[in-house]
Structure 1
Amino acid sequence: MSSVAIKSFSLSSVTKNVCIFSSIILVITLYYFLNYNTIITSYINYIPSTNIGPKQCNFSSIESDGWFCESDSDWELRKVIDRIQNKRNRISDSRHMFFQNNWEPTIHCTFEQRIGNPGDGGKWICDIHRFTQMNMTNLLIYSFGSNGDFSFEKAVNKILPKAEIHTFDIGYFTCPANVCIFHRARLGNGKNGDSKSLQTVMDELGHKSRSIHILKVDIEGGEYDLFEELFNHLSDNQVTFPYIRQILFEIHLSGSIQSEESTRRTHKLFELFRANNYAIFHKEVNLYDAHSVCEFALIRLNPLFFISHR
């Protein structure tokens, strides 16, 4: 056989193989394209339920104190995810990159919304429309720490115009008309200096028997004393704990970058939240001081959410 014939045969074979391979790739590509949804579904063991009515979400409604309405299967998956993430939430005591390594959200809100300034001062709220959807009346909102910035209060007032909003700060400021009521006060545990605890504030305003629907806290490190006094006061004296639906707060790590004392206190604080039926639904690092300051948002659930198993 001549060399020309051999080359021709070789090229013919290569061309044939290339055509066959290309055809196979084309068929596979078309198959995946035409059956994309079926293929994706086969790799996902869970598909969220839709169009759930109030009568079909009894399980989630009870365990969220009426906040969420989901099918039993959806809610059970929420609980599984919550437990998995919570076990991974205390990883390191190291202050360096503390918020990178610890305390991520364990539950998620479908329509969470950032309220207030787009930068520092704004807070995330879980499904704020639910306050009106659930026909809640007598809405009470506390905003601890404003420094004269009332963007949060104005944004909440626009969405919930009938809500009663009280703003507190150590400075002298005036709330915008028909938006909020301003109080000059230093918030803390009520023991250090002239600070006032949350319980004291509620007593003074005649709110002792009321629920707080949103508690916003931005008091530059005083959040530790405030929350520790609140939770420890409950366990020590067995007093009635104020029902706070959502807590939105900025937390500050103190001490040097090498110190782990502040991180251990931070771990204990989040464990206190968990022990008192709060789950994290949002986390946002404050880039003004990313190593030391972080924003968190928590929602209160029924104790059954944390202890029941199906």
Structure 2
Amino acid sequence: MSHDNNSGVPSRTKNRIKANWLLFVIGLLTLICIFDVVVHQRKMSVMQMQSNKSRCKKVIDEHNLFQIPDDDIIDKMDNNSLYLLFNKYVNLQQYYCCNITRQGQKLSTGKNVCEDDFFKPGSKCNVYSFGSKFNFDFEESIWKNFNCEIHTFDPSMPVEQKTLPFFIGYHLIGLSGKNFIQTEPEIWRHHNKPLWKTWQMQTLSSIMDSLNHSDATIDILKIDIEGWEWDALPEMIQGGKLRNVKQLCIEIHFGFSFKHQTTNGHIKHVFTNNTWGNVPLKGQLKILKQLYNYMFRIVRNQSFNWGRIKIENKIIRTLNELTLINLRFLT
């Protein structure tokens, strides 16, 4: 009887071993399946990232791009042809940026920024913002998203009794093609009141030197200075400081300047006999060509209805917001 009882023990042990072994095999197969799924998903993710990265690195074939002609050809063109040439050029996409975000409001106070790997502001980034009129939504967005060192420049309004954001350095300095003191107030184009009496105007080179940024990288250079970009850009190019700028977010005013006029409660623009920045139309196009030759490429254009004119049954928007990246940073 004892023999029969003892003889069942090895059988139960064997069954238990078989059950444990079966559970082990099932568990191992499950782990292998899970591993295969994870590996497959990682491969698909890597392939997708490589595809996106390849697409983001894609430089549009510049041999097939429409470009601004040489200076001698520009010099022979009439104003209508110059306007049409400008319109065609600024609406080109010269480089493909697959990660463009709007920093700030969708209106003209915000700016489009390219966030592809080579151009996205890094951990120790610098941002210069010229022209604010105490609207800081662009700077606030930059601060929240990138935590950059931000410097805002605008000499046109007094800062007394104004509360400035803690995350910017505010400077009563205007951007210009030379260093001087503006002593004759201009008439603001929205009304007939004179602006702030004396403005300190400086070149980008002088400003960067004064902030100990002589050799620093400027991740984003935002310029919104009501047509005087044409006066400032040549010095920025010739002085070599644009070499250190990753991307340029600039509001471009082309052709003859205009001012806003209110009639019966409605605001309309009226063109004047002066050109923006006192730079002729031909000179403005030549400066755009210099930017191209200096390795800056248009990745986004946003046009505005202000200042539009009609030429040869075509609407030309003379106020455009351009985002340009510096191809020198493609390394």
Structure 2 counterpart of 1:251: 252
CA contact (8 A) 1:169 1:185 kept: yes
Structure 2 counterpart of 1:159: 145
Query: 1:116: how far off?
Result: 1.0
Structure 2 counterpart of 1:126: 114
Cα distance in 2 for partners of 1:89, 1:179 equals 43
Task: Classify 1:52/1:303 alpha carbon distance in 2 versus 1 (closer, same or farther; 3 Å).
Answer: closer
**SS of the residue aligned with 1:302?**
helix
Deviates more, 1:186-195 or 1:241-250: 186-195
Indicate which of 165, 168, 178 corresponds to 2:153: 168
CA displacement 1:67-87 (0-9 Å, x = unmatched): x9427xx85x6341x432244
Structure 2 counterpart of 1:149: 135
- Output the TM-score relative to the length of structure 1: 0.64
CA contact (8 A) 1:98 1:263 kept: no
1:274 matched to 2:292? The reply is: yes
CA contact (8 A) 2:68 2:285 kept: no
Task: Classify 1:129/1:154 alpha carbon distance in 2 versus 1 (closer, same or farther; 3 Å).
Answer: farther
CA contact (8 A) 2:97 2:114 kept: yes
Indicate which of 278, 293, 301 corresponds to 2:327: 301
CA contact (8 A) 1:150 1:175 kept: no
Cα distance in 1 for partners of 2:232, 2:283 equals 13
Which protein has the larger Cα radius of gyration, Structure 1 or Structure 2? 2
Task: Classify 1:295/1:175 alpha carbon distance in 2 versus 1 (closer, same or farther; 3 Å).
Answer: farther
Cα distance in 1 for partners of 2:153, 2:299 equals 25
Cα distance in 1 for partners of 2:124, 2:206 equals 20
Cα distance in 2 for partners of 1:200, 1:228 equals 14
Amino acid at match of 1:273: L
Indicate which of 260, 275, 280 corresponds to 1:262: 280
CA displacement 1:30-66 (0-9 Å, x = unmatched): xxxxxxxxxxxxxxxxxxx84319xxxxxxxxxxxxx
CA contact (8 A) 1:286 1:294 kept: yes
**SS of the residue aligned with 1:288?**
coil
CA displacement 1:223-247 (0-9 Å, x = unmatched): 112110111234xxxxx76510000
Identity %: 23
- Output the TM-score relative to the length of structure 2: 0.60
Cα distance in 1 for partners of 2:138, 2:117 equals 16
Structure 2 counterpart of 1:41: none
Cα distance in 1 for partners of 2:163, 2:327 equals 32
**SS of the residue aligned with 1:105?**
coil
Matched residues, number: 231
Amino acid at match of 1:169: D
Amino acid at match of 1:84: N
**SS of the residue aligned with 1:102?**
helix
Query: 1:259: how far off?
Result: 9.1
Structure 2 counterpart of 1:70: 54
CA contact (8 A) 1:247 1:297 kept: yes
Cα distance in 2 for partners of 1:271, 1:122 equals 25
**SS of the residue aligned with 1:214?**
strand
Structure 1 counterpart of 2:205: 199
Structure 1 counterpart of 2:214: 208
Cα distance in 1 for partners of 2:230, 2:255 equals 11
CA contact (8 A) 2:119 2:246 kept: no
Cα distance in 2 for partners of 1:113, 1:304 equals 19
1:287 matched to 2:305? The reply is: yes
**SS of the residue aligned with 1:195?**
strand
Cα distance in 1 for partners of 2:178, 2:85 equals 29
Cα distance in 1 for partners of 2:172, 2:208 equals 14
Amino acid at match of 1:111: N
**SS of the residue aligned with 1:78?**
coil
Structure 1 counterpart of 2:89: 102
Structure 1 counterpart of 2:39: none
Query: 1:147: how far off?
Result: 0.8
Cα distance in 2 for partners of 1:282, 1:203 equals 30
Indicate which of 155, 159, 171 corresponds to 1:183: 171
Task: Classify 1:195/1:254 alpha carbon distance in 2 versus 1 (closer, same or farther; 3 Å).
Answer: farther
